[in-house]
Amino acid sequence: MSSQTLVNTLGFFGWNSTAEAVKDERTKEEILNKRKNTIGSTCQIFYSDNPFMVSRASMQYLYDENGKRFLDCISNVQHVGHCHPTVVEAISKQLATSTCNVRFVSTQLADCAEQLLKTLPGLDTILFCNSGSEANDLALRLARDYTKHHDAIVIEHAYHGHVTTTMEMSPYKFDHGSSLSQPEWVHVAPCPDVYRGKHRLEDSELRNAEKLYEAGKQYSNDVQEILKNVEEKNRGVAAYFAEALQSCGGQVIPPKDYFKDVASHVRSHGGLIVIDEVQTGFGRIGSKYWAHQLYDDGFIPDIVTMGKPMGNGFPVSAVATRKEIADALGGSVGYFNTYGGNPVACAAVISVMKVVREENLLAHSQKMGEELEVALNELKQKHESIGDIRGVGLFWGIDLVKSRDSREPDQRLALDVILELRQKYGILLNADGPYTNILKIKPPLCFDKSNVLETVSALDQVLTHFNR
Please, which of residues 112-171 interact with a copy of itself by CB under 8 A?
113-114, 117, 124-127, 130-134, 137-138, 140-141, 144-145, 162-165, 167
Cα–Cα distance, 432 to 439 (Å, whole number): 7
Binding to a copy of itself by residue 6, rule CB under 8 A? yes
- Draw the binding track, 331-350, toward a copy of itself (x: CB under 8 A; -: no contact): xxxxxxxxx-xxxxx-----
* Cβ-proximal residues to 60 (8 Å cutoff; 6+ apart), any chain: 71, 72, 81, 82, 443, 444, 446, 447, 448, 451
Minimum Å gap between C-beta 56 and a copy of itself is: 5
Whether the Cβ atoms of residue 423 and residue 67 lie closer than 8 Å to each other? no
Binding to a copy of itself by residue 209, rule CB under 8 A? no
Minimum Å gap between C-beta 255 and a copy of itself is: 28
Minimum Å gap between C-beta 178 and a copy of itself is: 3
Minimum Å gap between C-beta 436 and a copy of itself is: 11
Q: Which residue in 79, 71, 3, 69 sits closest to 365, CA to CA?
A: 79
Q: For the segment 314-333, give every residue that binds a copy of itself (CB under 8 A).
A: 314-316, 323, 326-327, 329-333
Minimum Å gap between C-beta 250 and a copy of itself is: 15
Q: Which residue in 54, 107, 146 sits closest to 341, CA to CA?
A: 107
Minimum Å gap between C-beta 167 and a copy of itself is: 8
Could you tell me which residues are beta bridge partners of residue 304?
Answer: 275, 320
Nearer to a copy of itself, 308 or 440 (CB): 308
Q: Which residue in 67, 28, 30 sits closest to 50, CA to CA?
A: 28
- Find the radius of gyration of the CA atoms of the chain: 22
- Of 178, 268, 360, 423, the one binding a copy of itself (CB under 8 A) is 178
Binding to a copy of itself by residue 19, rule CB under 8 A? no
Minimum Å gap between C-beta 40 and a copy of itself is: 3
The piece of 98-106, 283-291, 409-417, 457-465 that touches a copy of itself (CB under 8 A) is: 98-106
Burial class (CB in 10 A: 0-12, 13-18, 19+), 191: buried
Minimum Å gap between C-beta 305 and a copy of itself is: 13
Q: For the segment 46-85, give every residue that binds a copy of itself (CB under 8 A).
A: 46, 51-57, 62, 75, 77-78, 82-83, 85
Whether the Cβ atoms of residue 74 and residue 443 lie closer than 8 Å to each other? yes
Whether the Cβ atoms of residue 239 and residue 272 lie closer than 8 Å to each other? yes
Nearer to a copy of itself, 303 or 401 (CB): 303
Whether the Cβ atoms of residue 135 and residue 318 lie closer than 8 Å to each other? yes
Encode burial over 124-148: b for 16+ CB neighbours within 10 A, e otherwise: ebbbbbbbbbbbbbbbbbbbbbbbe
CB atoms closer than 10 angstroms to residue 468: 16
Q: For the segment 344-383, give every residue that binds a copy of itself (CB under 8 A).
A: 344-345
